A and B are shown apart, each in its own frame.
Chain A
Amino acid sequence: MWFVARRLLHAVPLLFCVVVLNFVLIAATPGDPVTILVGDFPAPPGYVEQVKREFGLDQPIYVQLFRYLGHVLTGDLGYSFANRQPVSTLILGRLAATLELTLTALLLASILGIILGMLAARWRGSWLDSGVQGVASAGYSIPDFWLGQILILIFSIWLGWLPSQGNMSVRGAPEGFAGFLDHLRYLLLPALALSFRYLALIARITRAAMLEVLSADFILAARSRGATEISIMVGHALRNAAAPVITVIGYNLGFILAGSALIETVFGWPGIGRLLFDSISRRDYPVMMAILLMVSVTVVLANLATDILHRMIDPRVGDR
């Protein structure tokens, strides 16, 4: 428990830096949110000044920064210029949708990737191994938004099995468990498209880690005791190969969150990816910064979870 508290404390200065850096970077980019707010019409100079004052944009940059930090600390993420509503209300529902999509994709990628990697390592050099390697290469080289479009083409347009846009039936969405199933039908294609790349990565890492462990001395010792191959694979090899695999899964959550922006656009998924895209094109700075902050927090939490898992699996970690 001390370890968790210490790690959370470490995260505070990190998140602080993230917030400051985001703020400064955005302030340094060319373009002025006021022009977007006011619009293309030739506005009287007095009106522009008034809008600037209203949003505090007439203050020096460091004053703006300190005010922003103060607000973030109290949980106030600001006000969206473009949407004219508080950022927190705007983000919360969409963050949940994005996390649902990304975590599902990561779960799919982890389960399938680990199973494929294990099988490939166990039957190294067989057709199964070559197949897994082929899938892995494909996963690396196929862009996920293109894969998404192909999936839509096959499963929505040609076969008509699954819906292609949104996250639930707009009209007559059923209640209860049926509603959940309805929702899953919407989730499946975008999650698959998003997961493929990570499935490839996890399969590769699992295969390499398993191969290394399988040649370890203690595997030979377990065989000399008459242990079955299955108990060796699951009881010794997978456990010992878990550390690098968990690291890869945990540290890729940030990338998968970033990657979801494209997939959400392709599948019309109402997550923060689309919101980020929109807020960039509209120079909606508070929304941009809030999203970046949320992503940072998620990555920090994912890394923390990774470290905790490491400690649970390996008694030697942090034991000094």
Chain B
Amino acid sequence: MDARTRRRYFVNSLMLGLTGVCTLLTVSILFMILGYLVWNGGKALDWAFFTKLPKPPGEVGGGMANAIVGSAKLILLASAIGIPIGFLAGVYLSEFGGRTFPYIVRYVCDLLNGVPSIVIGIFAWTLIVVPMKHFSGWAGGAALSLMLIPIATRSTEQFLRSVPLSMREGSLALGASKWRTVASVVVPASMTGVLTGMILGVARIAGETAPLLFTCLGNQFWSDGFNTPTASLPVMIYTHAISPYDDWHRQAWAAGLVLLVLVLVSNIAARLIMSRGTAPGS
């Protein structure tokens, strides 16, 4: 074997080895994140976290019960607005669309999906906080729903499209009208996929912080209804993490663990259902 060939073989194994190292590095980051968060969050998590209100700075103890309820409220509101709009718009794109208009809608949807979340926050602020003259749960929920709509639309469209054409034709051949076909054949056939898509969308907005910073602000106490500033887990993590108090840092870890578990569990569940469900992914 001459020197040149040896060098080529050496470069071959070196570079291929390096790509392996790249993979190892990037994947291990996930485990480092998980591990460190579980370690710190686990130490910090106690029953009070789920049942008590936050204590003023400097005092030890307390929890984030209001932020857990607040996040649940915001997510519910965002889902109540975002899922129906996204679902119906997705049905339009997949079933009723012509040529040009759906193309525009699809494009704008992707555009909206790519808008930085902080800009969505500004928009919700101009649209809701300014006319109402105060921060509110409404504004926070609306901001989150704006992030959910494009995700819900595109995933609904994608899963409806994966229903085979022959099923539609079968229904139409039996004399069903178009909307009847959509309502009783296409949508039920792709229900698993559509639902998992929605779960992924909701999991994504559950962790969003930036759109909430100046829409529903935050709150150290319970908030009645949707008309007052509302606490949420992501914003709590932010404010507690950048604060100088040790006990607040502890709470931030606990909240981080709870949020990460929620998001990852729903993601893994959705992906498992999707890989196993009747409707193929794409």
Q: Say whether A and B bind each other.
A: no
